[in-house]
Amino acid sequence: MSLNKKSVDDFNAKGRRVLVRCDFNVPLKDGVITDETRINAALPTINKLIADGAKVILCSHLGKVKEGPNEKESLAPVAKRLSEKLGKEVVFVADYNVTGEAATAAVAAMNEGDVVLLQNTRFRGKEETKPQEAGEKFAEELAALADDYVCDAFGSAHRAHASVAVVTKYISAKGGVNAVGYLMQKEIDFLGNAVENPVRPFVAILGGAKVADKLNVINNLLEKCDTLIIGGGMAFTFLKAQGNEIGKSLVDDEKLDYCKEMIAKAESLGKKLLLPVDTTIAASFPDPIDGPIEVSVVDANAIPADMEGLDIGPKTAELYADAVKNAKTVVWNGPMGVFENPTLAKGTIAVAKALAETDATTIIGGGDSAAAVNQLGFADKMSHISTGGGASLEFLEGKELPGVYAADDK
């Protein structure tokens, strides 16, 4: 799928002040970045703009900032690490106001090819656009620092936030360009091609906790794929909808009719819908989540009333791995079981391994499945691991992302 939006290749950035919205929302432990994936993913666009002779002004959110601006959620560690990776100074504007005097002065002092990183955008409010006036004002202030704008924050592209979407209005008003970066292009190429133009057979695998979280994804993917595989906690609502006893397993009782509808839809479209044939059960959910747990395996239609299904069983793992073997395109979102526990990670590992071994184009939809693939050391075997869990899910639902549609058309 080619994106009909202006990219960093479509305008001359030399000498221009270019505001780049990145996704530097990295995990931090005691001030140390524990996973640099998102920083690495932002480098191609930043390097391109430096090489073009732009004045590169970076911004991003970090964390949830539930209790207002604080040093623990400052972007300072990102500035330091980014500077090491770029091999040049990244001037960090530590001011909690993000925009304002300090930012304006730092930008005024820039030469071509210089890089400035602004403070955590969430320091200006939880959702940035709430209240609306605050979001508008912040977006206007951000735009005032720059001539052009580049959105490369795929992980935030599903949010119509000030720094993701609203800012484009003010850049346009003064004749500037709004473009997308290389990461956005790459994410949309992979996810878009998989969904809209897949090499078939196209197998979609969905797992995770609740059916309710993925209603639209199930519905949309069922129309696009050849085989839809369901695992994880959400599988039990499907099993119950088929009339099985599911014991104490996770269930969305309100979604039983929906599951029946999806089963019927698969049948009428001639699509394969694979559900677990066996499951790994325990007396209760592990506490702590990674603590020791006694398990056994039963057929999916024979779960005792006092037991809970916490992973797909070995027969199911084999069935799912087989389906992946013959695929040419695979999209995976959500773990097959409580993968945080080593005893209950077998199903997720089996699926990850099947994806690692196939020649198909394999796309991991971010979030927990990306974490699982990374933890298991299969990351370099996948064609693409999305940097945005929520954004990739909304994309798979068929929704347009605000961070994409706010960019100028080509």
Residue numbers at the binding site for ligand ATP (CB under 6 A): 208-209, 213, 232-233, 250, 309-310, 333-335, 337-338, 340, 366-369, 389
d(CA 140, CA 354): 48
Give strand ranges (E) for 172-241: 178-180, 202-206, 227-230
Q: Please pick, among 80, 186, 210, 260, the residue that the annotation labels catalytic.
A: 210
Residue closer to ligand ATP (CB basis): 213 or 357: 213
CB of 243 to ligand ATP, least distance (A): 19
Q: Cβ of residue 247: shortest distance to ligand ATP, in angstroms? A: 11
Task: Quote the least distance from Cβ 338 to ligand ATP, whole Å.
Answer: 4
User: 256-269 and 215-224 helices cross at what angle (nearest 10)?
Assistant: 10
Minimum CB separation of residue 237 from ligand ATP in Å reads 11
Between residues 124 and 214, which has the closer beta carbon with respect to ligand ATP? Answer: 214
> In sequence order, which residues have a C-beta less than 8 Å from that of residue 84 and are 6 or more positions away?
none
Q: Is 375 exposed, middle or buried (0-12, 13-18, 19+ CB in 10 A)?
A: middle
Residues 221/181, Cβ–Cβ less than 8 Å: no
Nearer to ligand ATP among residue 232 and residue 313 (C-beta):
232
Spot the catalytic one: 16, 17, 38, 124: 38
* Closer by beta carbon to ligand ATP, 309 or else 403: 309
* Distance, CA of 101 to chain centre: 34
Residues 248/348, Cβ–Cβ less than 8 Å:
no
Q: Please answer whether residues 388 and 187 qualify as being in contact, where contact means their C-beta atoms are separated by less than 8 angstroms.
A: yes
Identify which of residues 135 and 276 has a Cβ nearer to ligand ATP in the complex. Answer: 276
Catalytic entry in 63, 192, 390, 398: 390
Q: How far is the CB of 25 from ligand ATP (least distance, A)?
A: 12
Residues forming beta bridges with residue 206, ordered by sequence position: 230, 333
CB of 278 to ligand ATP, least distance (A): 13
Residue 188: CB atoms within 10 A of its CB come to 22
Helix (H), strand (E) at residue 74 = none
Which one of the listed residues 367, 388, 389, 403 is annotated catalytic? 367
Is 21 labeled as catalytic in the residue annotation? no
- Find the distance separating the first CA and the last CA of the chain, reported in whole Å: 15
DSSP 7: B
- Give Cα 117 to chain centroid, integer Å: 23
Please identify, using beta-carbon distances, which residue of 8 and 228 lies nearer to ligand ATP. 228
Q: Are 211 and 237 in contact (CB under 8 A)?
A: yes
Order the strands of the 296-299 sheet from edge to edge.
296-299, 278-282, 308-312
For ligand ATP, the closer of residues 176 and 232 by Cβ is 232
What is the C-alpha to C-alpha distance for residues 58 and 85, in angstroms, rounded to an integer? 15
C-alpha dihedral (148, 154, 155, 161), degrees to nearest 10: 40
CB of 113: closest distance to ligand ATP in angstroms? 37
**C-beta nearest to ligand ATP: residue:** 367
64, containing H or E segment: none
Is 113 annotated as catalytic? Answer: no
Decide if 390 is catalytic: yes
> Distance (Å, rounded) from C-alpha 277 to C-alpha 318?
10
* Active-site amino acid positions: 38, 210, 367, 390
